[in-house]
Structure 1
Amino acid sequence: MAKRKKPIHKSLIVGSAVFVAFLCFMLSIQSYITYSRSLYKRYDNKLENILTYISNQIDMDDLYQCTLTGKKSEKYDKLQTLLNGMVDDFELFYLYSLFTRSDSVYNICSATNREERARGEEDMQLLEPTDAYPPSEILKFTKAIKEEKTSFFEETSDYGAAYTACKPYVNSVGVHFGVLCADISIEELHKTVNHYVVYNVLLTLCLGVLFGLVLLIWLRHNVTGPILALEKSARHFAEKSRDKKTPDELIFDDPDIHTNNEVESLANAISQMSEDMRNYVQGILTAEEKARSAQEQAQDMTELAFKDPLTHVNSKVAYDKMKDSLQEEIETKGAATFALLMIDVNNLKEVNDNYGHDCGDKYICGACHLFCNIYKQSLVYRIGGDEFVVLLQNSNYKNRTRLLKTLDAEFQKTKNNTSRDPWERYSVAYGMSEYKPGDSLEDVFKRADESMYQKKMEIKGLKKAQAPS
């Protein structure tokens, strides 16, 4: 029995762990996206309200004139005071307004927080240039000035990373001349999101582990435990059955499973199957015994049909089957390489009449034995009482002329040997024909038969010429 490489309970533990890990991963991503959007939306609303309130306090035409002349007005000073107060009241990272020209940034009015004022820092001057922003950030401000609504983006400056809201300055005639910006620390925003995500991951992980443990306990009781018991019984049954000789020894140990589910049905099915298999094997053995007896009888009958009972060469039935097979080869391939040798045993009637049929049978068998020894590599068929056919193929076909001379010499030797009994002086007439392209098997047989008949006539004519007058 092959060793189990992946036990089911281990697979379930690994699968549960992977599932919990994947669940935590997906929920973490979902929590991060959802909470980030919610938090960013909250910050958007907060910054939008601050910028809207400040914009409502500004005389845009007066501020526009200040940017053109570079001179502060009374309302400009009030705006400076407002910005300085609001940057502290709302704990903003930075609150300022600016405009861009030729890839440069110029201050309009920027707040100074309480700590900066305590250190003696002064407010930035109107139209004071600053190089604190890289070109990519300047491009964002330039785009925000042209917008009709508040823009939001993240930026990095000398003061640190920040989340920025920009509301364009638009005077009474619709000229966009600057932008009011409020920054909050992006680090605080990210820290808040990360704390929320970590909390949700830990909560999900705890719930996932709890769910996995409950699932494994339930599976152990209802699925894996019964399956292990069933597998043990089935493996034990297979090991016991390997060396058993009789079906009665094929006994399945029922694991006695009561789970009221498919596992119990499977156990019952296997138990019933083992019993049915035992009965089936018994039936097969009985049927095999009968079939073996019938097969032996059929084989004996086939051998009798394909073997000549007197000479033990192939019979007329075997010859007819060979003809069909050879003719099919000719028709399929369009050609074949073979020759047929027709042999007719002479003087059989005289031997039967003068010495009896037993001697006649010996005469036939002796002649057959002689040409069978010459054509050892060929199939020999008895197709009549004294007629035989030899199928010449392969080496016998290549040596057909030499073998024919040997045949003639051997039969001449026995026929003229007067020391032998008359029924041992064998004489045959023979004729050979080779297959030629376009022939049928019948054509080859007919030529061989005609050649044999001509040989027989020659032998009879010679005998008449030798007879006394």
Structure 2
Amino acid sequence: MKAYKRPIQRSIILGSALFITFMCFILSLQSYLSFSKSLYQRYDDSLDNIVNYVHSQIDADDLYNCVQTKEHSEKYDRLQQTLNGMVDEFELFYLYIVFTRDTSMINVVSATSQAERDRGETDMPLLDSSEGYSYEEIQKYNRVLEQSEIKYFEEDSEWGAAYTACKPLANSSGKNYALICADISIEALHKTVNSYVIYNVVLTLILGLLFGFILIVWLRHNITGPILALEKSARKFAESSRNHKDPSELVFDTPTIHTENEVESLSRAISQMSEDMRKYIQSIVSAEEKIKSAQETAADMTLLAYKDALTHVGSKIAYDRAIRALENEISENKIPFAIAMIDLNNLKNINDGYGHSNGNCYIFGTCHIICSIFRHSPVFRIGGDEFVVILRDSDYENRHELIEQARQKFYETESDNSREPWERFSAAVGIAEYHSGDTVDMVFKNADKDMYENKMSMKNKN
């Protein structure tokens, strides 16, 4: 048998394998890019909300004056406390306001986490200088300072891989004098992306190999087999007919081929295979996009349904779900628990007198106090000015101290005349405990009654 330099069967198999490999690479790359973009967008949105909230809490001119005079102000101290609370609440690596000078990073305000305070660390001094930054790092921050919008970049820090958002801070004259920066860990993002990519690459390769095996079998049966059989018969006929003069000996051993025109049939088969391949790949990409879209839509709908849009605590729907779980636990004698009812005071006056944006700040600030006190319990916003806390475990054991702490905290903020009206948070707090034979609704009503009595007591004192 003659050895051909480029046998058609090997060429077709090699070409098919390269094509399948290329398509697997394209599909894996497209999947990686779209998934990474989606995850990074979520991190961008989260950091965007944090940086913008910090920006909304800053009196830019007052902070600029502190930088110029090197002296703290009352607003500066409040801003320091706000940043200290946020760095733990949002699990940030770091939250700070800085500006650059030569090869130094100059601190304006830097958050100190609870863990750092527990180790005895104190807040970084105003205008404290941090040396050792490279020229490239300084220029990166300088470029952001010249912008007017939030910029994001990824870097390695002593805490691990970090994702940073920076927003320029300008005084009333429009001068950018500092940067509001927030750092968050993205190690989880990298792990998620890598796991997703590995899964998709493996799945795509398996499908590619399976499809390749089926394709090779089909090609041998329908294309290369008949062509090789035809070539073998033709070559055998040529060899046997050489130097033969007897026409009866010139017999062509016709192979069993069920085609009328081999070249035309081969052309139609390749054309159909190419069309089938294109449709197959399109169906895979389309199905993947539909699944991804459905997953993202389901996740967004779940988030909207179970989280309050303003405060990010549990919504009324989430509370109803928690109540059903409590009712099941009561039937199974899984107790005890208590319900705390918190009703905001003066919200209508704030909305009418200072606008709904400050009213939202009033609601958000009150919610922050509630969450910081009842930190081990689920908090729900069930109305415009009503919050409910379900106390279990350690919070239940310390329920009376926590209720007293909440009432005292609201009394202090309401009495603090140095605050803006929408920062003088006030709320009536009531509590009721579950007793054998009660329903969840009875406990809720008793908590509401206790809250109402506390509200009347507060009005009588005023």
What's the TM-score bracket when you normalise by the shorter of the two chains?
0.5 to 0.7
Partner deviation per Cα, 1:41-77 (whole Å, 9 max, x = no partner): 2222221111111111111111111111222222212
Structure 2: distance between partners of 1:36 and 1:156: 19
1:169 aligns with 169
Preserved CA contact (<8 Å) 1:227 1:263: no
> Which residue of structure 2 lines up, in the alignment, with residue 122 of structure 1?
122
**Could you say what secondary structure the match of 2:58 adopts?**
coil
Query: Quick check: 108-117 or 42-51, which moved more?
Result: 108-117
User: What aligned pairs does 1:94-243 form with structure 2 within 5 A after superposition?
Assistant: 94-243=94-243
Letter in 2 for 1:199: Y
How many Å separate the matches in 2 of 1:250 and 1:180?
93
C-alpha distance in structure 1 between counterparts of 2:24 and 2:184, whole Å: 31
Do residues 20 (structure 1) and 15 (structure 2) align?
no
Q: 2:339 maps to what in 1?
A: none
Structure 1's 136 and 157: CA in aligned 2 closer, same or farther, altered over 3 A? farther
How far apart are the structure 1 equivalents of 2:264 and 2:178?
Answer: 79
Query: What SS class does the counterpart of residue 149 from structure 1 fall into?
Result: coil
Distance 1:17 1:74 in 2: 71
Partner of residue 253, structure 1:
253
Distance 1:79 1:132 in 2: 27
In the alignment, the residues of structure 2 paired with residue 182 and residue 264 of structure 1 have an alpha-carbon distance, to the nearest angstrom, of: 66
- SS of match in other structure, 1:92: coil
CA distance in 2, matches of 1:159, 1:136: 20
Q: What whole-Å deviation, never above 9, does each CA across 1:375-409 have from its counterpart, x for those lacking one?
A: xxxxxxxxxxxxxxxxxxxxxxxxxxxxxxxxxxx
* Residue range with higher mean Cα deviation, 79-88 or 20-29: 20-29
Residues 24-44 of structure 1, C-alpha deviation per residue, up to 9 Å, x if partnerless? Answer: 222233233333333222222
Q: Distance in 2 between matches of 1:237 and 1:260?
A: 20
- For residues 173 and 243 of structure 2, the distance between their equivalents in structure 1, rounded to whole angstroms, comes to 105
SS state at 1:174 partner: coil
Summarize deviations over 1:307-333 as a string: whole Å, max 9, x none.
xxxxxxxxxxxxxxxxxxxxxxxxxxx
Following the alignment from structure 2 to structure 1, what is the Cα–Cα distance between the partners of residues 76 and 192?
37
Q: Does the CA contact (< 8 Å) of 2:103 and 2:131 recur in 1? A: no
The 5 A counterparts of 1:29-40 are: 29-40=29-40
Identity of aligned residues (%): 60
**Does 2:68 match 1:68?**
yes
User: Equivalent residue of 1:162, what SS?
Assistant: strand
Contact 1:222 1:259 in 2 (8 A): no
Aligned match of 1:84: 84
> Take 1:239 and 1:248, find their aligned partners in 2: how far apart are those partners?
15
Distance 1:152 1:210 in 2: 42
Gaps of 5+ in 1: 267-469
The whole-number CA distance in structure 2 between the counterparts of 1:81 and 1:9 is 75
What's the Cα RMSD here? 2.3
State the Cα distance separating 1:98 from its structure 2 match.
0.2
SS in 2 for 1:165: strand
Structure 1: distance between partners of 2:214 and 2:13 = 12
Q: Distance in 1 between matches of 2:198 and 2:156?
A: 26
User: 1 CA distance for matches of 2:162 and 2:121?
Assistant: 22
Q: Taking structure 1 as reference, are residues 91 and 260 closer, same or farther at Cα in structure 2, changes over 3 Å only?
A: farther
**Mapped contact 2:154–2:163 kept (Cα < 8 A):** yes
- 1:265, CA displacement in angstroms? 6.8
Q: CA deviation at 1:157?
A: 4.3
Question: Does the CA contact (< 8 Å) of 2:160 and 2:187 recur in 1?
Answer: no
The whole-number CA distance in structure 2 between the counterparts of 1:20 and 1:123 is 59
Amino acid at match of 1:144: V
Letter in 2 for 1:61: D
